[in-house]
Each structure stands twice: as structure tokens, then as C-alpha cells.
Chain A
Amino acid sequence: MIQRLSIHGLTERKSGWGRVFEPPAITAPRGSKIRPQPHPFNLVFFVIVTLWCWALQNNEARAAQSFANIVESVQPQMVKIYGAGGIRGLEPYQSGFLISSDGHILTAWSYVLDTETINIVLDDGRRFEAELLGADPRIEIAVLKIDAIELPFFDLNEAVDLNAGSRVLAFSNVFAVAAGNEPVSVLHGSVAATTKLSARRGAYATTYHGAAYILDAMTNNPGAAGGALTDRRGRLAGVLGKELRNSLDNTWLNYALPIPEIRSSVNEILAGNSRPISSEPDRRRPIESVTLASLGIVLVPNVVEKTPPYVDRVLPDTPAAEAGVRPDDLVLFVNDRLVNSAKILQEELLYIDRIDEVRLVVQRQQQLIEVSLFAE
């Protein structure tokens, strides 16, 4: 009850307490009659607890109190992420936060991660290279891992739910203002609405269609994606989304993904279920496996180390053509396994028997499309 934060919450709680507990309020002081000679020690307890209750209450109401202590307690969980980009106005950095003591980092799934070397800078300035453990492009999140232990972290299971009106703090390395051991930026605001992101063509085009906290603060700027949204006590509530522009009226939407929307995906990634099979040891290949040719797909030429698996051509009268795969589709998943390069995609197919189903998730502009193919 006391954890309710908004002014609305406060009002609800008061009426609740008043109704249920008013009678005991009269009898409670008479408790001393039951114990005619109260020990001074107990009186001290009594005073302390009363003061404690008063303090809690007061805390809750002290709207003008500085967030400084809360901000300080959150900052050590935040990380700065540096990766691909730097051209065509694509900033080569974004934000993230630790979700385990041994170096798991939750962030936004974006082009920044599309590189061999993802660099992480912790709040204390320590630098690490991160491994991409997995991603869920459908909700635009990714999990990274660095080789470190005993780190402060946000426990996703302890994340709080927010309502419209809840006051929030947004932590991110927006515009890469902070470097090294400098703490990331903090903005404040309120949840304006809890709703689903509707992806209308042209207006706020996004691949994420789930529930979202719409925020009244300018949280979603370059570099802010993957940052942490907390309640006003610094408890994790969401992940800051990407920049989202309405191309019709040029307005921008600031939003965050509620933790419950992404928790299961994160757990899947942590369990290793989204990693390519080819990365797992002791996996047997079928005698006859699927090939790109048998599906009718020609990828763009594999020229660099991590060429993204874009479809260059779809051959006529093939399974791919029948299933509606199109040129310029970007293949993201093969049978729920993340494939973030042409090389990994080809290796992944080696583990699928020619007679089995091949499920692909492809990205076509801002849409994610799932298709099912049979090579034979």
C-alpha cells in the first residue's frame, strides 16, 4: 500500500485506511491498560515505530524533495554502450543497464549492436567488450554479457508497475553527454498513458506493438534507447524505447517498454534459447540439410565479416517465392534462433533437416513477418 506513489494512489490509500482501521485507532492506545506497567524500552519502540510511520508518510508526500539520493543509488547500474554507426546521422552509441551481478546487460536491439566489437563503459569508468547473447527484434530488446562479477544490478523480477500519473525518472546516456566515469543523464516526468503502441503506416512506424508507457518527458533522444525508466524511488519499471517520429506531423513520441512485456523474452535469451544452434557444441547435423538454394533465396553478397542477411533475390517457383519472401527482406530469425549475419544464417540452415519446417522471421521496413517454408 505504502508503495503507491501517485497522488491518486495516496488518495485511494487514505480512504482505505480510514475505513478499515479507524475503530482500532481508538482502542489501540488502551493497549497500555493490558500492560499496566509498560517497560520504558517498549515505549521507546513505540515512539520509534510511530516516527517511522510518520516519516514514511511524509516521504511519500514530499513532492519537492530532491531525487539526489535516489539518482545516486541507480547510477551504478547504468552502462554506456558504443558500437556501430557514426554515419548518416546514426549515432554509434546507446544506453543499457545491468540485470545480473555477473555482467548481463539489457539494452535496445538496434544497429549499434550490429558490429564485432560492442564496447561497454560502466558507471565507475571500467571498460569491457561485450558479447551479444541474444535479441528479440519483435520487442526491440537485446541482452549483452560482459566478463565481470559482483556488479550492482536491477532485478527484473522486482520491477514495479506504473499507472498514468506515476512520476518517473529516465536514466540514459542521451547524446553521449557522459563519458568514462561520468554519470549518465537523468530526466524526470510522468507516465502520460499506459497503452499499446499502434503502428500505423507512416505515423509512429515501429516494429514494437506491445504495451508501452507513454511519457511526458523528452526521454527518447539519440542514444537514450535502452536506458532505464524507474519510479520516483529508483525502482526499475521499464526500458526506454527508440526515437519514434510521426512522419505525418513531425511529432515525436517518448515511450518505454514495461518490464513485464519483455521479461519472458529476456529469460529465453538468458536460457540460451535464442542463440544460433551452430554456436552450441555437440549438435549433430542432419545428413541432408536445408540450403538457401533449396529455399530459393539469394542473399546480398557476403563481403564483410558481419554482412546482414538481406535477401537480394527470390527465385521464381521456389518455396520462398510461394511463402512471399521478397527482395530487401532482412532475415532475423531461423526457427526462433537469432541470425545476425549471412554467415550465421547459412550455418544455421546446416542444422535443419531437408524435410523439416523452416520458420523465418523477416523484417520488411518496420514490419516483422513470419513465414514458414519447406524445402521439399
Chain B
Amino acid sequence: MSKLVQWTAAIVIGVIGCSMADIASGQVADAVRDAEQQRIQAVAKAVVSAVAVFSADGNGGGSGVVISPDGYALTNFHVVQPVGDYMQCGMADGRLYDAVLVSIDPTGDVALIKLFGRDDFPTAELADSDDIRVGDWCFAVGNPFLLATNFEPTVTYGIVSGVHRYQEPAGTILEYTDCIQTDAAINPGNSGGPLFNSEGNLIGINGRGSFEKRGRVNVGLGYAISINQIKHFMGYLHSGRIVDHATLGATVDADEEGRVVVSNILESSDAFRRGLRYSDEVVAFGGRTIDSPNAFKNVLGIYPKGWRVPLSYLRDGTRHDIHVRLAGVHAREELLAKIQEAPTDEPPPKPAPQGEEDKPQGDGQEKAPPKPHGETAKVPDELQQYIKHRSGFANYYFNELNRSRVWNAFHDAAGDFAETRGEWRLSKGEEFSITLGNEESAIKTTTAAFSLNREKDLSEQLEPQGSGGMLATLHLWRRMLVEGPTAFGDVVYVGRAPLIGQEGLYELFQGTYDVVETHFYFDPMSGELRCVEMAPDPGVDPCELQLFDYRDVEGKKLPHRMLIRHGDEDFLDLEIQSIQLSKTAKPEA
């Protein structure tokens, strides 16, 4: 009985206490006021980074969001596609900024642009979009229907309706994988604009909606490209290139028991070389559990071409864990052709024909006919220097910019090798010596000797056997250091990519010389060259030359440990005791 009294008293006091608090605050509970304040602050924090994108001729456009103080901003590929490589961007401060196109990811429907005029642009804070859950509050910021004449963006609030959604390609190319579904109103003009979480941090780029018979307006289903996917592509998006997505070289299907099994695999694919076979059950990919074909497609869609991604499969009850190098979805010409025919915009809202859903949300209103890529209206003189056309690139200026940046960082870290154009000798006592030079490159050990024949293609000289071309790779390594990216051959800044066994992402060059493709991975922190990969043919495993233990050699820094890998095997772990660099400049024949 006494306990009952106490319970009752406690409940009464609890309830009264709370009620009194409410009354004191004028009928609205503090928690409600707090929530309101939180929301106001989140919106205030978020809107300043939003961008209204307009084509130079004032017709059409979309939205975007600034992600760095020097003005790099994300938007949709299908927003910039009809706009060309010069555009104008309004921000919440009421000002209009000039901007140029940097890179496009047509498959992922993402583009990076750069605004000019400030070095202190307000930026969006990038969240971890894998942390969001269905039911979380979120809000879209942008310029739907191009309403904002003073560039003050529109905010639409909603909840996350679905995560890890897979949306089939619309039209010819745009595929939304692993995207975020929201009921926040996404209308024409919101395209390319940011989706924020309730704290006002960026979780995605809005770009698509489900429409059917109700015309091209919001029907409660909008889709945003997850910011985590874009983070993977971020380095690539700064490269000025037309960025491609990846394929495994294998397809999967669900079998009768619902297991995800390999239904087709190319023998020329890296997955095949790593051991994956028809009917193997894929259980994990990219660090995620795979329980449906859509889950597999979601993972595949968030990685760029060329990345190596962990994959686990089951065969006869045994689990195999491998790393697979992803190939490009499109051949170069194919990608260029598809961009030309990609959906850009549609006529103004009208009842759509049956089955027309999930179209990208273009631009806003009535539009001028789209211009072919590259052709722009009256680029201001001061911006001309930031636009450079080259086939296969969205804006070659940014490729050169980043190539120089990475190369300069390497110079700062390791020194200038341009003067050491003579023979290089790397040795460890009597055990071995490696000679690298324009005239001759050779390896001598106590039992064997190899040298490169200058008359033959490098791709045919893969000695020592089993190394995948160690000597040729060393030869190209020296060539890059001596000649630099401008004289090595054709060298492109690719972006940032992971290295197996190493933390973080590395700055990646792709150099083509003497028909072989060579990749150079630079450490973005130290500036050092960490790895050189030479692939004589895309269908075979490259020779990987990993470089460690940089030490002083005649005022420069060079690696004193080299790990040579081929396929799944370590071929050689080389400790180098002495390095001699000859300065004799012998002109190349």
C-alpha cells in the first residue's frame, strides 16, 4: 500500500513538474522550442552554401552546392550538360558569381564546377551518408522552378523515405545507385542542389524523381546521389576529365534460394584472374554484405573505374576474400557518344506518357535548345584562361593544374631529377645490380642477367619471368622521374585511388609511353611516389612496383626498398644499399 502511495506521488509530481515547465514557457514545451531553434540553425547553416546555376544566356539551369572555400561546387551532369563550360551562379548572399565546368561524371549524373570571385566561399559540411536512417528528417535546398530572383534558395523539408535505393538507368546513361529517397519536395530546378540532414550537413545531391501521370512536379519521391559515393569520385571530379563508372567484368543474379551468384564472367576480367568463377556466391563487396542483386549493383555504382575493391565469395562452403580491380563501364568513344545523346531536359510540365517515370529533373523552366558540349556563349575574357578544350576532357585546364600540383609536391619532397639524365645504378653489394638509362636498362644477379632491347616494344619484354615486367617498370619509373609528366609521354592526372594494404587515397597519374599504360601513385601527404604499375595489356595483371624507405641520395630522395608484386604474389622484396646517379646527359636517339 505504502509503495503504491509513493508511486502515485512520484507520477503526479513528475507529470505536474513537466506541465508546470510547459506553462512557464507559454504553452509551448521547451523541447518544441529547442527543436524549432535547432531546425532554424541547421537551415541557416546550410542555405549559405547553396548555389543557383544559370546558363550564360539566362535560360535554364539548376542548383548546386559549394564544398570548398575556393569555390568548387557540386551539381548534376544533366544540369551542366546543356549549359556548356561557362555558367553563372547565384548564392544566398544575393551575388552572382562566374563559374566554369571542371569535370563530369555522366553515369553518376554528377558534375563539379568552380566559382570565381572569392577565396572564402561558405561551404557545406559533408556528412557520412551511410549513417542516415529511414525516418530521419532532412531538407533540400535549391532553386525549384527558378523562383528565387534574389538567389535566396528555397528550402523544402521532409524525411528520408529509403536508403540504398537502386534506380535503373534513365534514358541512355544516368544510373542512380545506392541513392537516398526522400519525400522532401524535389521539383524541376532542384536538380544538382544539396540534400542536408537535420544538422544541416550535406548527405546528397538531388537529381531525380518518380513521376508518372502527374506531370513533372514533385509526387513525394525524390532521389539524391549519396555524398559518400561522391566522396569516392572526388579526386576524379577534380581532374577535368569525363569520369567513368566501373564494372566487375561479371554479372550476378539471385538463384532460387535467393543467393546472389555469378551469372556471367569475362575471362579477361581482373575478377576472373583473382579466382572468381561462374556460380560462385558473392557474399560481400566493398565492405558490405550482399543479399540481393540490387545490393551488388549499389556497391558497384559508388566506385570509380580503376579502383580495387574487396570482394568475398563462397565456393563449396569456403569463403574467399579477394581485391578486384574494377574496369571502366564504357569504352572512351562510347562514353563520349553517350554524353551527346544523354537526356538533358524535357519540355515544361505536361502529363507524361505512360511509363515515363524517373526522369532526371532537369533545369527549371522553358529552355533554349541545348547547345552541343563545349560551345558556350560569350565567356568573359578573365575566365578564358580557366577553360581548355581537349577531346575526352570536360576541361583540360584542371587536369594540367592538378598534374602540376602533384608533380610539384613530388619535387618538393624528393628533388629534381631532370639533371640526372645519365645512368642510374641501384645495387646491394654483389647480390644484384640494376642499371637504368636511356641507352641501356639491365638487371644483373649472381645467377642471371636481363636487359631491355630498345628495338622491341616494352610490352613484349616482361623479364624477369613471373614479375610481370619488373625491368620495364623500373625503366619507366626512372623515365618519369627524369623527364617529368610533360615529357614522359602522354600523362593524365586521373584523380585519387586506393592502394591495397595502404591507408587512404593516392594521387594517380596515368602515363602512356611506348604502347604501355603506367600508373603512378603519389602520397598526397608526403608527396612521395609510392607505387608504379605497368600493364602491358588491360587483359593481364600489371607489374606493381611499390616504393618505400625514401633516403637521401646526392641531395635527392629515392626509395631504398622496392616490393615487386604480380597478380596475387610478391615477386621480390628488394633492399637497396647504394644508388648512384650519373648526370651525363645522353640525348635520346
Contact indicator B9/A28 (Cβ below 8 Å): yes
- Complex CA gap A86/B49 in Å reads 44
CB distance from B261 to the nearest CB of A (A): 15
Q: With A18-B19, A177-B181 in contact, is A221–B212 under 8 Å at CB?
A: yes
Residue A367 interfacial (CB < 8 Å): no
CB distance from B356 to the nearest CB of A (A): 10
Residue ID in chain A nearest B355 by CB atoms? A89
Residue ID in chain B nearest A62 by CB atoms? B31
Residue A3 interfacial (CB < 8 Å): no
CB distance from A64 to the nearest CB of B (A): 3
Interface-side segment among A42-50, A98-106, A300-308, A319-327? A42-50
Residues of B close to A70: CB separation below 8 A = 135
- Complex CA gap A125/B181 in Å reads 20
Residue A185 interfacial (CB < 8 Å): yes
- Complex CA gap A257/B221 in Å reads 22
Binary interface encoding of chain A residues 68-102 relative to chain B, with 1 for a CB under 8 A from any of its CBs, else 0: 11111001000000000000110000000000000
Contact indicator A22/B291 (Cβ below 8 Å): no
Contact indicator A42/B294 (Cβ below 8 Å): no
Residue ID in chain A nearest B133 by CB atoms? A68
Q: With A66-B137, A185-B161, A186-B159 in contact, is A21–B12 under 8 Å at CB?
A: yes
User: Which residues of chain A in 167-213 are interfacial with respect to chain B, using CB atoms and an 8 Å cutoff?
Assistant: 169, 174-175, 177-183, 185-188
Binary interface encoding of chain A residues 240-255 relative to chain B, with 1 for a CB under 8 A from any of its CBs, else 0: 0000000000001000
Residues of B close to A283: CB separation below 8 A = none
Contact indicator B12/A54 (Cβ below 8 Å): no
Contact with B162, one of A22, A61, A66, A178 (Cβ below 8 angstroms): A178
Residues of A close to B38: CB separation below 8 A = 64
Contact indicator B27/A183 (Cβ below 8 Å): no
CB distance from A334 to the nearest CB of B (A): 35
Contact with A185, one of B2, B162, B213, B214 (Cβ below 8 angstroms): B162
CB distance from B360 to the nearest CB of A (A): 16
Contact indicator B161/A125 (Cβ below 8 Å): no
Contact with B221, one of A45, A60, A221, A252 (Cβ below 8 angstroms): A221
Contact indicator B291/A14 (Cβ below 8 Å): no
Q: With A31-B6, A49-B11, A64-B35 in contact, is A181–B291 under 8 Å at CB?
A: yes
Residue A218 interfacial (CB < 8 Å): yes
User: Which residues of chain A in 81-138 are interfacial with respect to chain B, using CB atoms and an 8 Å cutoff?
Assistant: 88-89, 125
Chain A contact residues: over half helix, strand or loop, or mixed?
A: helix
User: Which residues of chain A in 14-61 are interfacial with respect to chain B, using CB atoms and an 8 Å cutoff?
Assistant: 14, 17-18, 21-22, 24-25, 28-29, 31, 34-35, 42, 45-46, 49-54, 57-58, 60-61
Binary interface encoding of chain B residues 116-135 relative to chain A, with 1 for a CB under 8 A from any of its CBs, else 0: 00000000000000000111
- Complex CA gap A179/B3 in Å reads 53
Residues of B close to A175: CB separation below 8 A = 210, 212, 221, 357
Q: With A64-B137, A71-B134, A177-B165 in contact, is A17–B14 under 8 Å at CB?
A: no
Contact indicator B18/A54 (Cβ below 8 Å): yes
Contact indicator B183/A89 (Cβ below 8 Å): no
Contact with A58, one of B27, B31, B137 (Cβ below 8 angstroms): B31
CB distance from A45 to the nearest CB of B (A): 6
Residue B251 interfacial (CB < 8 Å): no
Contact indicator A183/B134 (Cβ below 8 Å): yes
Q: With A62-B35, A67-B136 in contact, is A177–B10 under 8 Å at CB?
A: no
Contact indicator A17/B214 (Cβ below 8 Å): no
- Complex CA gap A180/B354 in Å reads 25
Residue ID in chain A nearest B292 by CB atoms? A180
Q: With A31-B9, A178-B162, A217-B220 in contact, is A49–B14 under 8 Å at CB?
A: yes
- Complex CA gap A362/B354 in Å reads 30
Residues of B close to A64: CB separation below 8 A = 35-36, 38-39, 137, 198
- Complex CA gap A178/B13 in Å reads 47
Residue A227 interfacial (CB < 8 Å): no
- Complex CA gap A225/B314 in Å reads 40
Residue A10 interfacial (CB < 8 Å): yes
Contact indicator A53/B15 (Cβ below 8 Å): yes
Contact indicator A186/B161 (Cβ below 8 Å): yes
Q: With A14-B27, A46-B10, A174-B221 in contact, is A179–B292 under 8 Å at CB?
A: yes
Residues of B close to A61: CB separation below 8 A = 29-32, 35
Contact indicator A66/B198 (Cβ below 8 Å): yes
- Complex CA gap A242/B566 in Å reads 61
Contact with B213, one of A14, A88, A89 (Cβ below 8 angstroms): A89
* Known contacts A174-B220, A218-B183, then 17 further A-B pairs from the complex at CB < 8 Å, ordered by chain A residue: A18-B23, A22-B16, A29-B9, A46-B6, A50-B10, A54-B14, A57-B29, A66-B133, A66-B136, A174-B210, A175-B212, A175-B357, A177-B181, A181-B291, A185-B181, A187-B159, A221-B220
List 18 contacting pairs A-B, 8 Å CB cutoff, sorted by A.
A17-B16, A18-B19, A18-B23, A24-B16, A25-B16, A53-B17, A53-B18, A57-B15, A57-B18, A57-B29, A58-B29, A58-B31, A66-B198, A71-B135, A72-B135, A125-B292, A182-B165, A186-B135
Interface residues of A (CB under 8 A from B): 10-11, 14, 17-18, 21-22, 24-25, 28-29, 31, 34-35, 42, 45-46, 49-54, 57-58, 60-72, 75, 88-89, 125, 169, 174-175, 177-183, 185-188, 217-219, 221-222, 252
Interface residues of B (CB under 8 A from A): 2-3, 5-7, 9-20, 22-23, 27, 29-32, 35-36, 38-39, 133-137, 158-159, 161-162, 164-165, 181, 183, 198, 210, 212-214, 218-221, 254, 258, 291-292, 294, 354-355, 357
